[in-house]
Amino acid sequence: MKTVLGLLLGLRRHDLRAARTFIDTMFPGVSLPVRFVRFLVWALGQIFFTIPRALSSARFARPVSRTPIWLAAGNPLANHPWGNDPNTSLPTDADVVVIGAGFTGAGCAYHWAKAGQGRMLVLEMEDAASGASGRNEGLVVMGRYFAMVRDTVRPYLDKVRADLSCEDRNALAEQFAARYSQSAYKNADLVETTVRAEGYDCDYARNGWIQTRDESGQQALAESIQAGAIAGFDDWTSLSPAEVLEKGGMRVEHSAGFSRRAASFHPAKWVWSLLQTAIATPHVDLYSRTKVLNITDQGEDYTIETSRGTIRCRHIINATESYTAILHAQFRDKLNPVQTQAAFGRGGPHNMGKHIGLSGKRGFFGRHDTGVMIGSDATQLPYHLAGNNNPSRFISKFLIGEMHRYFGRSPIEITHEWSGTPGFTADEFPVVGLIDDKRQYLIGGMCGSGTAVSFNGARHVVQQILGIDGPDDYPAAYYAPTRILDPDNHPWPEIERP
Ligand SMILES: Cc1cc2nc3c(=O)[nH]c(=O)nc-3n(C[C@H](O)[C@H](O)[C@H](O)COP(=O)(O)OP(=O)(O)OC[C@H]3O[C@@H](n4cnc5c(N)ncnc54)[C@H](O)[C@@H]3O)c2cc1C
């Protein structure tokens, strides 16, 4: 009873927000009242049985740190450049200003440095990798798989392309899925090539990603694998329960989805490595703890007002993901922060596979040297709460129960618990392109799969700015922000008939 009381008294505002997410997603295909009743039954079961049982072999350190485990050992670029050189002043001119130093901003810096021209400034309001890029699960994904993209884009097309026939909307959704998968596969290979070529020490390993499915998900799993294969995307496949146990240490009763070529890495080390390569050249500088407050279009260039002074520049790349709507009001309710959380604990199941992605029905898991990471949630927040680090203790406790379910019971002490906010668009399809028909770009809306888009997306935008010819991996008909800002005037792709 003490545990139950503790759980109930510990409920906070985000738990209620998250409860809505669970109600909306856990029992698809039934009416709201039925969903609510089923959720209530489920929640009471969690509160009175599952969680108290799980907590008998778990404890929470006092205090639990809010620092993501990836940042716990320190940040080599903390307070750069001010820490080493307090008298440095912010430059007043640049060719390009990048706002944000996560996967995306660091990717832009790297590609710009390799091109070896002009001057780029990367401005970061906190420290490099302090946003979602330093708070995630650490999987280098092959992207959302083909059928998943098709099925998230399709309902959006129903709303904004009601002029098309049902058949044409299906065809268009498949075209979106194909364009996305094509560029995501390329992105994943580009990450690997870069890690190897540069000799980055970021714990990179390419062992795949297991995503469990229960009995009710088996048919959809088979269909999604087949749809991907027919369209020429063969990464998404399945594993038998015995293979899931062997590769990931997870006990399941049914086949699981498997992304064969997903990898894992230390996400913050990836960001720092890219930036270190870039700032070693005369073409890129990083200014952390420098917040962009306002952007003004001056015709031939932009002025950027920051917390440390004003910069004039010709091009801007917004690498601000879930924070974008704070700077650009037109993205409010179009590119939303969605809170996801994680926790790290010492101990945990030793049979849990290492360097492999492991997802249960409602949580993810990962074994690291001294312990395990657990995580879940996808709750939309108001735009001004982007970057919210306020994890739900209830969800952490729930995840311990989920971990026991898949990996067996084992003692764990939770030492770190944090949350972050990926950015989500209405159709869960990213945005890579110009936001003003001039020279201001955005790379965002990567919907929790930033590793699938950010690096190749950054290369694409840098090439556009420099006028370098290359394959157009992000055609405006698919990726331009008008798709979500002004769908009536978006230059939609032609329907491709076989
Ligand atoms: C718990 C969790 C698990 C996840 N797991 C995965 C995973 O396994 N694989 C995967 O691919 N993705 C995962 N994601 C999503 C992934 O982390 C994001 O897609 C990715 O980090 C986005 O990178 P980014 O550089 O675009 O954005 P961010 O890393 O959020 O960077 C944006 C930066 O912009 C800065 N900024 C914002 N506004 C301003 C301003 N006005 N002035 C200056 N700077 C500003 C912010 O401080 C921030 O550092 C996960 C996310 C979370 C939270």
pLDDT in tens, 271-321: 999 999 999 999 999 999 999 999 999 999 999 999 999 999 999 999 999
Pairing between β-strand 120-123 and β-strand 309-318 as defined by DSSP bridges: unpaired
Pairing between β-strand 309-318 and β-strand 440-444 as defined by DSSP bridges: parallel
Q: Whose CA is nearest to atom 33 of ligand 1?
A: 100
Ligand 1 centroid–CA 384 distance in Å is 15
Ligand 1 and 364: CB distance under 6 A: no
pLDDT of 369 reads 82
Mean pLDDT of the chain: 95
Burial of 63-92, coded b for 16+ CB within 10 Å and e otherwise, reads: ebeebbbbbeeebebbebebeeeeeeebee
Pair of tokens at residue 32: 């709201």
The model's pTM = 0.96
From residue 493, alpha-carbon distances to 172, 175, 426, 435, 490 in Å are 8, 9, 18, 18, 9
pLDDT of 263 reads 98
Ligand 1 centroid–CA 422 distance in Å is 6
Which atom belonging to ligand 1 lies closest to the Cα atom of 449? Answer: 11
CA 449 to the chain's CA centroid: 4
Q: What would the mean pLDDT of 79-102 be, rounded to a whole number?
A: 97
Ligand 1 and 137: CB distance under 6 A: yes
Q: Whose CA is nearest to atom 36 of ligand 1?
A: 100
CATH of 2-72+335-425, one of 2.60.40, 1.20.1070, 1.10.3470, 3.30.9: 3.30.9
For the chain, the structural domain boundaries read 2-72+335-425
Ligand 1 centroid–CA 448 distance in Å is 9
Q: Whose CA is nearest to atom 32 of ligand 1?
A: 320
Ligand 1 and 451: CB distance under 6 A: yes
User: For residue 337, is pLDDT > 80?
Assistant: yes
Specify the 3-state DSSP secondary structure of 148. helix
User: For residue 18, is pLDDT > 90?
Assistant: no
Pair of tokens at residue 239: 């594993």
Which atom belonging to ligand 1 lies closest to the Cα atom of 447? Answer: 19
Nearest to 46 by CA among 419, 475, 405, 456: 405
Ligand 1 and 445: CB distance under 6 A: no
pLDDT of 9 reads 75
pLDDT digits (tens, 9 = 90+) for 378-414: 999 999 999 999 999 989 999 999 999 999 999 999 9
Ligand 1 pocket test, pick from 67, 80, 103 with the greatest ligand atom count within 8 Å of Cβ, gives 103
Ligand 1 and 323: CB distance under 6 A: yes
Ligand 1 and 353: CB distance under 6 A: no
